[in-house]
Amino acid sequence: MHHGRGPTAGTWRRRCEGVAVAVEPHRSLPSPGSALSADRSPYPSEETGVCTKNDSVFLVFPSSCRQKSSVSFLSRPELPNLAYKKLKGKSPGVIFIPGYLSNMNGTKALAIEEFCKSLGHACIRFDLSGVGNSDGNLQECTVGKWRKDVLSIIDDVAEGPQILVGTSLGGWLMFHAAIARPQKVVALIGVATAVDGLVTQFNQLPVEVKKEIEMKGMWDMPSKYSEEGIYHIQYSFIKEAEHHCLLHSPIPVNCPVRLLHGMKDDVIPWHTSIQVADRVVSTDVDVILRKHSDHRMKEKADIQLLVYTIDDLIDKLSTIVN
């Protein structure tokens, strides 16, 4: 946000819930090239997003100007094909990484895409393998395989520098991607970031419960976000995930990091973001807590904060490059 500056000729005006905020337009960076793969049928749209009208940007609930878009597929030898939607535009681009069992058609993903469209910046949203329209058997998925999914999108779909936005488990994956691709990942935004999340939750169980899960081979984890009220998580998934834990040592990420977390989050406690901030090597790290937000952070004010955070980083990175 640019405090202390009045609107001038050529400024964007963002009107969110009756408040207009003047923001200077961003300087243009090189535009990425064309998208990969053939198109297939689209997801049904959600009724929320960010829309543009008369050179203004609005957060709207419901969204009345979202256009239907088709889904493309990234083919990978010996790996599941990944469903994705790519919006062409300027750099830095934005890649949205969904959370556990979430797909690319959620409230935050669509809002980010529309916001990027309003600024003329590139945006990619996709489904992890075994989820949504992507191929793959969910029972065979692991944190390691999902990490490879993110790297495939960065390597084979994205062009130029990228800002990664990861929600929940997607926040864990984005840190691994930043570690593996430091030249291409230029900033991170975590929403209810669940670094080491499932492993931490498992380790907090009573010893006898953990032994029972090990013998059974399955953890029936209660969750109000599952239609059944529980998630069936294989014990082997937890053991594999242990190899990808990050909080036990400094996290070698040097780019700007923004961590948004709701203090009413009853899935991943907000102090997890504080731990992550402490472990990250980067000196440019901000943690923003919302007192009344829950794990999903999908209310109007949450989405507004998210797109403003993206905007601030785009502006910061554009200034650095220019």
What DSSP line would sit under 94-139, residue for residue? EEEE--TT--TTSHHHHHHHHHHHHHTEEEEEEPPTTSTTS-S-GG
Report the pLDDT value the prediction gives residue 43, as an integer from 0 to 100. Answer: 27
In a domain, 142, yes or no: yes
Q: Within this chain, do residues 64 and 160 fall inside the same structural domain, yes or no?
A: yes
Tell me the two tokens of residue 15.
């009107």
In a domain, 38, yes or no: no
Q: Within this chain, do residues 201 and 70 fall inside the same structural domain, yes or no?
A: no
Pick the more confident residue, 70 or 72: 72
Q: Within this chain, do residues 47 and 182 fall inside the same structural domain, yes or no?
A: yes
Catalytic residue list contains 273: no
Return the C-alpha torsion angle 49, 53, 56, 58, nearest 10.
Answer: -20
Pick the more confident residue, 35 or 172: 172
pLDDT at 47 over 70: no
pLDDT at 91 over 80: yes
In a domain, 29, yes or no: no
The CATH code of the domain that includes 68 is: 3.40.50.1820
- Amino acid identity at 134: S
Q: Within this chain, do residues 207 and 269 fall inside the same structural domain, yes or no?
A: no
Q: Within this chain, do residues 79 and 138 fall inside the same structural domain, yes or no?
A: yes
Return the C-alpha torsion angle 124, 129, 131, 136, nearest 10.
Answer: 140
The domain containing residue 256 runs over which residues? 43-196+245-321
Catalytic residue among 127, 149, 196, 265: 265
Per-residue confidence at 320, pLDDT binned at 50, 70, 90? low
pLDDT at 291 over 50: yes
pLDDT tens-digit profile of 112-169? Answer: 999 999 999 999 999 999 999 999 999 999 999 999 999 999 999 999 999 999 999 9
3-class DSSP state for residue 257? strand
Q: Within this chain, do residues 157 and 214 fall inside the same structural domain, yes or no?
A: no
Per-residue confidence at 224, pLDDT binned at 50, 70, 90? confident
Per-residue confidence at 10, pLDDT binned at 50, 70, 90? very low
* Mean of per-residue pLDDT scores for the chain: 83
In a domain, 36, yes or no: no
Share of the chain above pLDDT 90, in %: 74
Number of domains in the chain: 2
Q: Within this chain, do residues 234 and 266 fall inside the same structural domain, yes or no?
A: no
Tell me the CA distances in angstroms from 210 to 198, 218, 231, 267, one per residue in order: 13, 10, 16, 19
In a domain, 20, yes or no: no
pLDDT at 243 over 50: yes
pLDDT at 75 over 60: yes
Share of the chain above pLDDT 70, in %: 78
In a domain, 12, yes or no: no
Per-residue confidence at 69, pLDDT binned at 50, 70, 90? low
Question: Which residue from 189, 191, 210 is spatially nearest to 201, judged by alpha carbons?
Answer: 210
Catalytic residue among 127, 295, 312, 315: 295
Cα-trace Rg, the chain: 19
Catalytic residue among 168, 273, 293, 318: 168
Per-residue confidence at 226, pLDDT binned at 50, 70, 90? confident
Q: Within this chain, do residues 176 and 58 fall inside the same structural domain, yes or no?
A: yes
In a domain, 24, yes or no: no
Q: Within this chain, do residues 250 and 236 fall inside the same structural domain, yes or no?
A: no
Q: Within this chain, do residues 87 and 217 fall inside the same structural domain, yes or no?
A: no
Q: Within this chain, do residues 130 and 89 fall inside the same structural domain, yes or no?
A: yes
Residue that terminates a domain, selected from 225, 244, 263: 244
Q: Within this chain, do residues 201 and 250 fall inside the same structural domain, yes or no?
A: no
Catalytic residue list contains 265: yes
In a domain, 27, yes or no: no
In the predicted model, what is the mean pLDDT of residues 159-180? 98
Residue that terminates a domain, selected from 183, 218, 244: 244
In the predicted model, what is the mean pLDDT of residues 269-277? 98
Catalytic residue list contains 295: yes
* Interatomic CA distance for residues 301 and 305, integer angstroms: 6
pLDDT tens-digit profile of 21-46? Answer: 333 333 333 333 333 333 332 223 33
In the predicted model, what is the mean pLDDT of residues 14-18? 34
